[in-house]
Structure 1
């Protein structure tokens, strides 16, 4: 894959040192580590290897990736490995996409309490979906849920929400049959929205009562229980956004969707246009507009671009992809096997197709021959071998 003309790493390398100096004392250790990882990703600072074609002797240097989950360059390989494992879990049923979004007033609290509030978002949304699906008035079944946390909008503002991928049906309470949802319809979003609102607020108040929430700056007064109750009062009457999209075209469409969403970061390198004296220009999607008018360009001061990117750094050890119900990790294999049995699908038909498998060892860009690693060099070291020059550019993998 060709290297994008501009990368987040370029912006961090050129402007990061001055920005860190100007904001010293206001950055978390996690944010500093993310900046360092992205700056060093696929450079000599992390070491790498030299590969040579066994046919034409074309030589190429490949630097190691940082493997940081916030790095735009490292998520492709991570998503590929994750999808290869998930492909075996797909069932031959329609899949639905449901989105649960926190109101702006709650997002403000989440900004200062990321680990606590993001965790509540996961739990309340999963409990909501599982409860309504189990209700015989709606589906009357135990469903499987894959939830993915996104904390950004298209302009990298703080906009926490979870994307859920759910099979269109579930196992009956007695475990004896598969219950399918109505064609083209999963669960009523208004019912989901009301229950989500109640469950989330209950959990948030419980977290406040146990002292798990911290407040700073303009929100410092919310540490008082009465002020906090008054702050939440309007949210009990507001409509909370729950959105259900149309079902996917089939299992492979689910995989294609997941490959775009599960390991996404705040902004992809492909959306970057320019970085100059006016700031950083990038493409974004304005969802308030219609059709083609949604695609727009935005220019932010470089410091503001860096700040917006870093507000989406997750707390250390926080899991941004979670599974519930039939897909809960401890019982997933048994539940999937039972679901296939109820759907009359043999396990042999359920084996991965290999669509998301690793494409294999790298091939020579010149002749298609096999590339053999001839040297491995350590962090900060200079490789002994040099890359093969070409009329256009040196072949160095920094994609």
Structure 2
């Protein structure tokens, strides 16, 4: 048994979520090669030093390049703003480090292709943190669709609703700067439901979208004036899929009363599946094969060890898990992939495919017409889904 020695770039929200995932993986999943928390990195020395102590990292750095150059690091975990992902990921791959990056993978399709080429050329393991794939209810939905339980898929309707910017006086944040974030609700929230839809249903063919920025400028937190908001507050789009299905998608930070309402409904010829992350331990299922007088949506509590993926590691039936557990499942799967030198998904090719959908929507907003989703095969190997 060896160790997977981790260098984590970023120490705030995602840094904290990823740290507990590495610790929980060691404790609950007993990986072949456990994680070792070697170094955490951030630009503010006082803050990152405190984070290292609080989270239990062996050391800290203030320059991500120093982390990549270290000989005692196997995995680089990127939890920084979107505009930094490309440089860090490519440098890590060239140094022979495995790479995990937060979503969205990049600021553009071009950047995503460069990142995919870097990890493909060097042969390192790579993964994008679309953590919602690792919710047991989503794993069950994937299994049920693959088994044909809802038949041919006709409709997908998905939305991701938050309200943390609904107050016009909420202060400016880095997520509102296009140069840093790449986009607003579209890249932050639509990216998740695009990835879930690709995972559950298949590839996008064409899209048409619209977006809006409701509040054009925001007060600066220190009270010294205002800054222009350069990203979307909401983006909505329609989609057609390679398999003939159609879908509608919506992401917003202005859905007053909604905190983290990620919802996906998939309607098929024989049934339907509904998932709502705010009830993440449950999956709703309707089947036309039920006797007519008994038909209706049933509510499946997805907490059964042996029956439901990942649940063997946790608690007795009916004992719920939460948001942080999806990160643990992700880390566990990545540890297995690294130790056994096996593919893991969603990887950088999945990140690119998601980016191609997001960018096609952006193009359609400008052209005010339907746009085809790029499916170039000039990077990496296209795998069977």
Q: TM-score range by the shorter chain?
A: under 0.3
Query: Looking at both structures, which has the greater relative contact order when contacts are Cα pairs under 8 Å and sequence separation is at least 6?
Result: 1
Structure number having the greater strand percentage: 2
TM-score (norm 2): 0.23
TM-score (norm 1): 0.22
